[in-house]
Amino acid sequence: MKKVTITCLMLLCVLTTYAQKKPKINAKKKAVIASVESKKDQLTELSDKIWAYEEVAFQETQSAKALADFAEAQGFKVTRGVAGIPTGFTAEFGSGEPVIGILGEFDALPGLSQKTVPYKDPRNVGAPGHGCGHNLFGVASLGAATAIKELIEAGELEGTVRFYGTPAEEKFFGKLWMVREGLFDDVDVVMDWHPGAETKANVQKGLALVDFIVEFEGQAAHASGDPWNGRSASDALELYTTGINYYREHIKPTVRIHYHIQDGGQVVNVVPDYAKIWTRVRDTNREGMEKVWKHVERIAEGASIMADVDYKINLVSGVHEVLVNRTGAGALQANLEYLGAIEYTDEEQDFAKKIQEATGSEVVGIESVIEPMEETLENPMGGSTDVGDVSYVVPTIRLSATTAPKGTPWHSWAVVACGGMSIGHKGMEYAAKALSMTMVDLFEEEKLREDIKAEFKERKGDYEYKGIVPDGPPPIGAN
């Protein structure tokens, strides 16, 4: 992939024109703020339903239906089951250009079910929970889309608003199949947000990632009576993980390798003839990730040779790092500065401090501040998202809105607790306002759209996007 350098002149223009301009408000922005506020109770109720449904990747039947039904009730044209995904859908209103999209996730994580209390106490032991706040994510985005829909319906804005109900972000990366299906091909700009511990324009790219399954097949035998007749698949698995762990010394600090043993044998007195492991490789760019990925696959081959077993590798999916758009982020930043920081009650601050205490974090309460737009780092740390793939086919503007206190372990019970009570609800409402205000800018300002597209083209360079996704339909029902 070509290394892209944005000219100093362009960056200066972007910062001067958008990120540093004085926050402004107009009647349309006041209207979308009022729309979100008028639907606060409905949005909160919808979010709490999805929070309680606690459905995991590609199984979000109730959650997707609740969001799609709400969209239909607001007057959107809803298309369900898009890209071969039963829980994927789009909701559209208006006609013609520009086409402004907005993303909405709603899947939960396994094993994180939790009550809305600041100590670990599962609602349903062993059940999933929204440890990444996706019960808030989809609802806020749909609230923003609805506010824009009302302005189009009233003749105040021209164009099309499209909400994307995007399932399975936590595991299989459902957006990959939506991108492959061409669902973003006619979109001018996409809006996105994510629950977090800070409120800011998100201008970090995250990590590229690949997931693949390695399976080893050998020969079963009695573990004591005739082990010499056996060829152990679990031996190969252990050799494979040992190889990975020795390899860690020789990879760059930006790389992350994870694995999850899914089957290492069933009983102690049988030489296992089957073993299975899920492996994940990340880096801050796709090129670096691919180099490590291919070497880890060779480690699997070496392990199979040493254990004298067969092996096979199946690609699950993979994602690009995010292609950051600072021009769009500057427009978002101006709206954040107009809105100001989220304000919290003493009770909410007390809840936040108890969450921090329970998770071993610094007890400082929840942050209430809007920081200046930060520098985009070449090698940031953090997570990965299939929003990265969307960002390589259409310019994408990203927001982080506070839904849990700083220091809270993400993908944990603590985030679930905050997402089901007022701290999460406030972040959701705030996100809906900030997103819809920025969408007003996108609909009204052709020059802004042009500048966003120009930066997108410059950053992407001559790279031709190709998704890391296996042939065939999405893995609905896979474990």
328 and 449 in a common domain: yes
Domain that holds residue 223: 208-319
241 and 229 in a common domain: yes
**How many domains are contained in the chain?**
2
Evaluated on CA atoms 144, 147, 148, 149, the torsion sign reads: positive
- Tell me if 75 sits within 8 A of 83, measured CB to CB: no
110 and 65 in a common domain: yes
Does residue 468 sit in helix, strand or coil?
strand
Rounded Cα gap, residues 324 and 203, in angstroms: 6
pLDDT band of residue 23 (cuts 50, 70, 90) is: low
Give me the pLDDT at residue 174, please: 97
Structure tokens at 109: 């994580």
Q: Is the pLDDT of residue 46 over 80?
A: yes
Give me the pLDDT at residue 19, please: 46
Residue 176 lies in a domain: yes
94 and 229 in a common domain: no
Rounded Cα gap, residues 91 and 145, in angstroms: 9
Rounded Cα gap, residues 47 and 52, in angstroms: 9
Residue 214 lies in a domain: yes
Which whole number is the average pLDDT over 381-386? 93
Which whole number is the average pLDDT over 218-226? 97
290 and 180 in a common domain: no
Over pLDDT 70: what percentage of the chain? 95
Triad 291, 294, 298: Cα angle to 5°: 135
Give me the pLDDT at residue 13, please: 47
Which whole number is the average pLDDT over 36-41? 98
Q: Where are the beta strands (DSSP E) in 120-207?
A: 160-166, 189-196, 200-201
Structure tokens at 363: 């007890």
Q: Is the pLDDT of residue 5 over 90?
A: no
pLDDT band of residue 478 (cuts 50, 70, 90) is: confident
Amino acid (1-letter code) at residue 239: L
Q: Is the pLDDT of residue 40 over 50?
A: yes
| The model's pTM | 0.92
Report the greatest alpha carbon distance in the chain: 82
Q: How far apart, in Å, are the Cα atoms of 452 and each of 185, 201, 250, 301, 381?
A: 16, 15, 39, 45, 25
Residue 453 lies in a domain: yes
- Tell me if 372 sits within 8 A of 60, measured CB to CB: no
Structure tokens at 212: 């693949």
Residue 401 lies in a domain: yes
Residue 457, CA atoms < 13 Å, CB-side half-sphere: 8
